[in-house]
Structure formats: C-alpha cells, structure tokens
Amino acid sequence: MTSSIKKIGVFTSGGDSPGMNAAIRSVVRTCAYMNVECVGIYRGYEGMMEGDFKPMDARSVNNIINKGGTILKSARCTEFRTPEGRKIAHDKLLEAGIDAFVVIGGDGSFTGAMIFNQEYDFPVIGIPGTIDNDIFGTTYTLGFDTALNTVVEAIDKIRDTASSHNRLFFVEVMGRDVGHIALNAGVGAGAEEILIPEENLGLDRLLESLKRSKKSGKSSSIVIVAEGDKTGKNVFELKEYVEEHLPIYDVRVSVLGHMQRGGSPSCYDRVLASRMGVKAVEALLEGKTNLMVGIQDNRLILTPINKAIKGHTKIDKELMRVSEIMTT
C-alpha cells in the first residue's frame, strides 16, 4: 500500500469509556503492522495544542487491552473551539510530522475533528467512544456494553437488600439526553419501571405501576431513572413524590455515578475496539477522511462525521414494549 500518510496521531477526548485503551492499542499495533509511525497525543485537543506527544510502538501498548480509562488521558478543551486554538494545534502536528489522526470520543470531539479537517484538509477518522451509545452511524459505541454490565451488577446487589426489606429503590443511571443505558440495564436488571429522557410516562403512570406491582405480590421494586428523565423531577424529588402518594412504600435512592464510566472492558468492547482501530487506520491509509467507524449488523461501516453528529439515535420501541411486558 503506498499512502502519503507516514505518521498517525491517536488520542482520546471527552468523557472516558471502557474500551478506549483497547482502541488505542489497536491503532498503535495496526500502524506497526502497516509500517506507519504512530504518535500518542495526551489529553485530547489540549495536549495537541501543547505538543504533548509520545511515539508509540507495538510494545508500548502491552497489557492495556483490559484496563479501563485511557492511558492517553482525556480532557475537554474549550480553546480548540476557536480558530486560534486550532491553528496552534495544527502547527504542533506539522512540527511533529503527524499526517493524520484518529480521534476516540463522542459528539463534541468529532465536531472539533470535522472543523479541523475542513480548515486544514487534515485527514481524520473517528472512533465512537462513549458509554451513552448516542452516536448515529453505529449500533454500539465503545463502553456501552461494559457500562450496562456495571449497572446490572450494581442493581443485582441493590436488589439483594431491596428484597430482604421489601423496599422500593430509585436507581439513577447515566444518560443526560438519551435513555439507552436506562432502558437496556433496566430490562437486564428486571426493573419494575424505567424513566428515560425520551418519553414522559407521567408520574401518575408510575404510581399506577407501583400500586399494581404491590398488588401482584412483588415484595420489592427497582425503578431505573436516567439522569435526564423527562418527568422533570430528579431522583430525590421522585422519592419524595412517591413517599407522599404511596406511603406504603419505604423508598431508597441510589445514584450509581461515575463508576459507570470505569472498569475493565467487557469482551465485546475489547473486540469492538480492536476491530475499529484496524478499520480506522486502514481508512486513513486508503486516503479516506472525515469519517467515523461504526458497527452495524456485526460489520464495520464508515459514516461521514457530519452525519454522525447530526443524526439522532432513537429509543428502541420494541425494547420499551419488552420492558412493559416483563413487569407483568
């Protein structure tokens, strides 16, 4: 393969997610395999602007496939949103002889890459790394599968104590704008009700459901609430609301928080990351740019970054129905 690209940068950006290290490893090793140099860029766009670079060979990514977080660190960077910031970053990349980059991150990180590509005709490929699974153009984002397992394992523990005391728990999971984690983990954890940002089920319906649940002989209940739940109440307000209207229930709240972002990636996320890293480097070497690698029907596909950014993932209506049937 004769490509004009001789040195590829790789970095992680935005919120971290399990599988990012596996993706870095894959990009680095694919470069080694293809005899292209690879450079790690620390702390995303921030490190890019500071020239915080480190050459990476195949051995430099030993034993990271199973580690959560990102060895290249991540950051959110406001300065890169300005033309001046991007100019500085471009200079640093040129200086280091970097011809192209692979960005592992979410929406915001892709937007930056796309603008940078347009301004400097700099080849960029994105790999979707976020636990939220909210990127258009891929059925799964890196870290989503791991986060779901983390959530259901935590709720399995909570259920132990909930059913020992016949209690009702509200468990808040991540998902400010999208309910994918809440819906999938809710079904997986056998939740009695799932509140997500996409749908307002209404508080009356929640009360009805809880009443029915009690009547049907259930001794305990778990309600999953996405951060951005559309009822407009946060999880503590929900507790108060329910205790007021259904005093029969002894309600507890658990906010799972940042542990959802960490942990050793699941096998699925490790494999997906490995596949995406190969695809990303290959795309760059084939002269492609401004694309995001995604997976659909278990095959890798490429989607223009602007589509990935503008598109919206939809909540799965079939799964919502499954959820409802399961709480019979």
Please enumerate, by residue number, every residue annotated as part of a binding site for Mg(2+): 107
Residues 256-275 that bind a second copy (CB under 8 A): 257-264, 266-268, 270-271, 274-275
Q: Judge contact between 169 and 162, C-beta under 8 A.
A: yes
Does the footprint of a second copy cover residue 75 (CB under 8 A)?
yes
**Least distance to a second copy from the beta carbon of 25, Å?**
8
- Residues 301-320 as x/- pattern, contact with a second copy by CB under 8 A: ---------------x-xx-
**CB of 104 or CB of 292, closer to a second copy:** 104
Q: Judge contact between 106 and 128, C-beta under 8 A.
A: yes
Does the footprint of a second copy cover residue 254 (CB under 8 A)?
yes
Three-state DSSP class for 301?
strand
Q: Please state, in angstroms and rounded to a whole number, the distance separating the CA atoms of residues 98 and 42.
A: 14
Does the footprint of a second copy cover residue 58 (CB under 8 A)?
yes
**Least distance to a second copy from the beta carbon of 9, Å?**
18
Does the footprint of a second copy cover residue 217 (CB under 8 A)?
yes
**CB of 148 or CB of 225, closer to a second copy:** 148
Q: How far is CA 3 from CA 77, 124, 275, in A?
A: 31, 15, 21
Does the footprint of a second copy cover residue 212 (CB under 8 A)?
no
**Amino acid letter at 63?**
N
Active site residue 177: no
Does the footprint of a second copy cover residue 253 (CB under 8 A)?
yes
**CB of 114 or CB of 135, closer to a second copy:** 135
DSSP string of 56-101, one letter each residue: --GGGGTT-TT-SS-TT-----SGGGSHHHHHHHHHHHHHTT--EE
- The helix (H) or strand (E) run that includes residue 182 is helix 180-188
**Least distance to a second copy from the beta carbon of 114, Å?**
23
Does the footprint of a second copy cover residue 173 (CB under 8 A)?
no
Q: Please state, in angstroms and rounded to a whole number, the distance separating the CA atoms of residues 160 and 140.
A: 30
CA neighbor of 171 nearest in space, from 252, 263, 260 = 252
Binding residues for substrate: 130-132, 167, 174-176, 227, 252, 258-261
Q: Which of 52, 57, 121, 132 is catalytic?
A: 132
Q: Which residues does the annotation mark as catalytic? A: 132
